[in-house]
Amino acid sequence: MPSGVLITRPEPGAAETAARVRALGWRPVLAPALVLAPRPFRPTRAQALLLTSRAAARALTPWDIPVVAVGEATAEAARARGFSEVRAADGDAAAMTAFCAAHLDPAAGPLLLAVGEGYSVELAAALRARGFRVTRRLAYAAAESADFPAEAAAALRNREVSHALFFSPRSAGCSVRALTASGLSEALRGIEAIAIAPRVAAVLDGLPWCSVRTARRPDQDHILELLGSP
């Protein structure tokens, strides 16, 4: 059976996932769908800073503010960056909304939502519907990768890839466009796509995967649980 695993998440997360994939006995094949770059970020007064991704945590210079992270992996990234008071929700936007509703008070001040360009608009709307004031600020830009990597394209054409991992709706959509534009759709037959959440799996419809599976929980550990060992 082919041992290649296509990894579509952007750097620096792609390298981290590659190391985990390699430790399981697979061969990582990198094809980041997005290129991330920090944006100037001006802290503002708020009762809490909300982080929906490790990319957002890594883009910020820490200051003294309580942090609510979307999940434990993002919380770990925030602590590693230097934030001291960090709590984690249960892994997705709905869980983050519920966490804020249960533990924060709309009357205690606005929430500062640090995001990538184009991300977390629905989360901000959901929090506002719960009575919170939300200040949404860009922490990083996410641009679509210009080209599909030649090494990854060759691995697909040579039938060396058995699985493909997808971590967000946007990166999955960019990957779908890149695969289609590169004439690689037919090379996906026999490849199992693994999505971090149902919204991500829905973006993968229309390509001839042998199957599309969704992680039980929206985090990397549960994506890799589906990958298993070769």
Give the model's pLDDT for residue 218: 86
Question: What does the pLDDT average to over 35-49?
Answer: 93
Give the model's pLDDT for residue 2: 80
Give the model's pLDDT for residue 18: 97
At residue 162, what is the residue type? S
Weakest mean pLDDT among 114-118, 134-138, 202-206: 114-118
Question: What does the pLDDT average to over 87-116?
Answer: 94
CATH of span 37-142 = 3.40.50.10090
Give the model's pLDDT for residue 139: 94
Mean pLDDT of the chain: 94
Q: What is the DSSP letter of 29?
A: E
Q: Which of 71, 96, 83 is nearest to 43 (CA)?
A: 83
pLDDT in tens, 149-203: 999 999 999 999 999 999 989 999 999 999 999 999 999 999 999 999 999 999 9
In the predicted model, is pLDDT for residue 118 greater than 80?
no
**Per-residue CA distances from 101 to 47, 55, 89 (Å):** 13, 24, 11
pLDDT in tens, 56-65: 999 999 999 9
Fold equal for 10-31+147-227 and 37-142: yes
The domains of the chain are located at 10-31+147-227, 37-142
**Strand (E) or helix (H) holding 144:** strand 134-144
Exposure on the CB side of residue 136, measured as CA atoms within 13 A? 16
φ/ψ of residue 35, rounded to 5: -115, 120
Task: Order across the sheet with 27-30: list the strands.
Answer: 27-30, 4-7, 161-166, 192-195, 211-214
Which of these CATH numbers, 3.30.390, 3.40.50, 1.10.10, 3.30.530, describes 10-31+147-227?
Answer: 3.40.50
Local confidence band at 1 (pLDDT 50, 70, 90 cut-offs)? low
pLDDT in tens, 147-163: 899 999 999 999 999 99
Q: To the nearest whole percent, how much of the chain has pLDDT over 70?
A: 100
